Structure 1
Amino acid sequence: MFLALKEMRYSKLRYSLIIGIMFLIAYVVFILSGLATGLNWEFKQVIVDWDAQTVVLSEDANDMFAASQLTRGDIERVEAKNKASIGLYSSVVIGDGEKINTSIFGTEEDAFLLPKVIEGRSFTAEDEIIISKNLAEEGFEVGDQIKIGRSEEKMTIVGIFPETFYTVTPVVYTSLDTWTKLKYNTQPFASDDEKPINIVVAKEANATLDNTSGTELSQLTTVDFIENLPGFSAQNLTLNSMIYFLFVIATAIVGIFMYVITLQKTAI
C-alpha cells in the first residue's frame, strides 16, 4: 500500500489522467442508466398503473396493442371478476394553437383501472375527459375545452389525475362512446356491441376465454404485453448494450494502463 501511494505521488499526471478517464466513463454510464430507466418507465407506466394481470387481444394481432381489433361485445367472452374494455387512440390535443402528442384511452366509467383524480372529478357524460398531470402542466386546467385530433367537437376537461405516460406521451381517459367518436368520427356501426375496442384487461390471472364464435381471442400476462410494445425491447437492448460496452472499455483502459506502466519499469 505504501509503495502504491508513493508510486502515485511520483507519477501524478499519469494517475490523474486515468482517474479522470474513469470518472468520465462512470459519468456517461450514470447518464445512460438514468436515460434507460426513465424511458423504460415512460413507455409502460400507464399499463403498470392499471394493476391488471391479464390482457386479452385478438389472436391475429401478434400480441400488439394497436393491432388488436375486438368489439365491445367481446368482453362478455372473457370470464373474470374484474375486467374492463380499452380502446387506444394516438392523436394530438389542440389548445391555444399548440399541438401535443397524446394517448387517448376509452373505457367504462366504472372501470377498475381508472386512476384516482386529484383535481375535479371523473368523466360521467359524453365529451368529457380527464387528463394526466403532465398534460395539464402544458397549460390545461379543469373546465377547459379542447379539440383532439381531427374532431371538430370540443372536449371538456373535468378532472386531472397523477402524472403518467404511455410510449412517452401524456394520457387522456374518456368514455367508450366519446373515444369511438374521436377515433372513428361519424362511421356507423350496427349496434353498441359491434363498436370497436382494442383489448380487454382483467385484474385476475389466467382469465377464461370463450372462443366458440367470433374473433379468436388470446391472452398475455401484463409483463409479456409490455415487452411487445413497439420499440420497448429494442430501446432497452440498445441502451443496456451501450452501458455494458462502456464497462468493457473501462476494464480495457485500466488493463492497458497497468500494462504500459509495467513495461516502463521492466529492463529491456
Structure 2
Amino acid sequence: MNIAWKEIKKSKVRFMILGSIVFLVSFLTFIISGLANGLSQDNAALIKDLPDGQFYMNKEAEEMYNLSLIDPSVQEAVLNEQEQAAALSIQMGFLNDAEDKQRSVAFVTSTDSELFENVQEGEIVLDRSLEEEGLKVGDTLTNNQFSGVFVVKGFVDQQKYSHAPVAFINMKNYKEMYRVNEMQLMFIPAGDEFPVIEGLQSFSSSEFLNTIPSYSAEQLSLNMIVWFLVVISGLLFAIFFYMMNVQKIGLYGILKAIGVKTSTLFKMMWTQMLFISVIALALSIALSQSFNFIAPEGMPFSLTAATTVQLSIVFLVIGFVGATLSGIQIKKVEPLQAIQQGEV
C-alpha cells in the first residue's frame, strides 16, 4: 500500500493525466446518459409512467400501434373481464389557440380508467409544458378536424409522447376528429396472469416502447455511445498500466527478489486504479448533477441517482478489469531475468 502511494506522489503528472482522461470520459458518459434518460421521458413519459402491465394491439397492424384497430366486441369483453383494463388511442395532431397559433400535441383518449385523465365532451387536459407557454385554464382551443371547441380544464405533469405534450380529450370528440369507431390499444395492469386475446398481440411496456420508431432509434444510438465510452475507459486503464508495468519490469524483479509477493504488486496497482477512479468519478458526478442548473431551458436532461450509481459501479469494474489484464505480465516476471534487463 505504501509503495502505491509513494509512486503516485513521485509520478504526480503521469497519474494526473490518466485521472483527467478518466474524468472527461466519465463526465461525458454521465451527460449522455442523462440526455438519453431525458429524451426517453420526453418521448414516452405517457407510457413509462404507467404501472407494469401488458399492451395489446391488432396482430394485423404488424406492431404499428397507429394502424391497430381493436374490435369493439373484443374490447367490451376484455373490459368486462378485467376491471382495471383500459382501451386507449394516441394520435398526433394540432391545436389552435385564440391567436390562431398552432401547437403540436399528442391527442390521447381512453375508456374510464384511473390510469388516464377522464374528461367530459368539449374539455381538454394538457401537459404542463403548454401552461409554461402561456395557456391557462379556461382558454378555448380549436382543431381543424373538430366542429366544436375545447376548453382547457387543467394541466398534468410529465405527460409527453413523441416529444409532444399530451392532450387528453373525450372519446366522442376523438372519434369525431379522426372518423373512427375503434380504439387502437388495450392496456391491462399487472396481475397474476395476462390473458391471451384472440386476434391481438401482447407487449410488455418495454416491448411496446420499442415499437415506437423514434423511441427505439433514439435510445439505441445514445446507449451505444454510452457503452462505447465505458469500454474506452477500460482500454485507457489497460493501456496506461501496461505501459507503466513495462517500464517497471526491473523494479518488479527486485521487489520479487526481496520477497514481495505478486499479490502485493497487484494490490498496489489496484490501489492506484481505485484512487484515480474515485477522484475522477466524484468530480464528474458532482458536475453532471449540477448540469441541470446550467443546461439550456427546455433541454431534456434527467440523471437519476440510480443511473449514476450503476454507471459508477460499471466504471470501477471496467477499471479493475483493465488494470488486472495489464498486470498479467507482473505474474510472469522472473526476478533474475528482470534485473538483468537493467531497468529499475
Which of 140, 160, 165 is 1:165 aligned to?
A: 160
Q: Which residue of 2 aligns with 1:195?
A: 181
Pair 243,52 (structure 1): closer, same or farther in 2 beyond 3 Å = closer
**Aligned ranges for residues 36-115 of structure 1 at < 5 Å?**
36-51=36-51, 53-78=53-78, 79-95=81-97, 96=99, 98-108=101-111, 110-115=112-117
Deviation per CA, 1:80-105, whole angstroms, max 9, x where unpaired? 22333212111233334544332111
The Cα of 1:152 is off from its aligned counterpart by 6.8
Say if 1:52 and 1:201, in contact at 8 Å, map to a contact too: no
The Cα of 1:34 is off from its aligned counterpart by 1.2
Which of 127, 142, 149 is 1:147 aligned to?
A: 142
Q: Unpaired runs of 5+ in structure 2?
A: 250-341
Q: Distance in 2 between matches of 1:106 and 1:27?
A: 41
Say if 1:92 and 1:99, in contact at 8 Å, map to a contact too: yes
Q: Distance in 2 between matches of 1:165 and 1:238?
A: 21
CA RMSD of aligned residues (A): 2.7
Q: Distance in 1 between matches of 2:144 and 2:72?
A: 23
Q: Distance in 2 between matches of 1:23 and 1:168?
A: 31
- Alignment length, in residue pairs? 246
The Cα of 1:150 is off from its aligned counterpart by 5.3
Mean Cα displacement is larger for which, 218-227 or 134-143?
A: 218-227
Mean Cα displacement is larger for which, 18-27 or 252-261?
A: 252-261
Q: Distance in 1 between matches of 2:245 and 2:53?
A: 58
Pair 84,2 (structure 1): closer, same or farther in 2 beyond 3 Å = closer
Letter aligned with residue 174 of structure 1? I
Pair 60,259 (structure 1): closer, same or farther in 2 beyond 3 Å = same
Q: Which residue of 1 aligns with 2:299?
A: none
Deviation per CA, 1:153-207, whole angstroms, max 9, x where unpaired? 53211122222222332111111111123334xxxxxxxxx71321122335524
TM-score norm. by structure 1 comes to 0.78
The Cα of 1:74 is off from its aligned counterpart by 4.1
Pair 7,139 (structure 1): closer, same or farther in 2 beyond 3 Å = same
Return the structure number with greater helix share.
2
Q: Distance in 2 between matches of 1:11 and 1:54?
A: 57
The higher radius of gyration belongs to 2
Say if 2:45 and 2:158, in contact at 8 Å, map to a contact too: no
Q: Distance in 1 between matches of 2:134 and 2:128?
A: 10
Letter aligned with residue 53 of structure 2? Q
The Cα of 1:15 is off from its aligned counterpart by 1.9
Q: Distance in 1 between matches of 2:141 and 2:28?
A: 41
Say if 2:141 and 2:151, in contact at 8 Å, map to a contact too: yes
1:224 aligns with 2:207: yes
Q: Distance in 1 between matches of 2:55 and 2:243?
A: 57
Say if 1:123 and 1:159, in contact at 8 Å, map to a contact too: no
Q: Unpaired runs of 5+ in structure 1?
A: 116-121, 185-193
The Cα of 1:17 is off from its aligned counterpart by 1.3
Say if 2:125 and 2:168, in contact at 8 Å, map to a contact too: yes
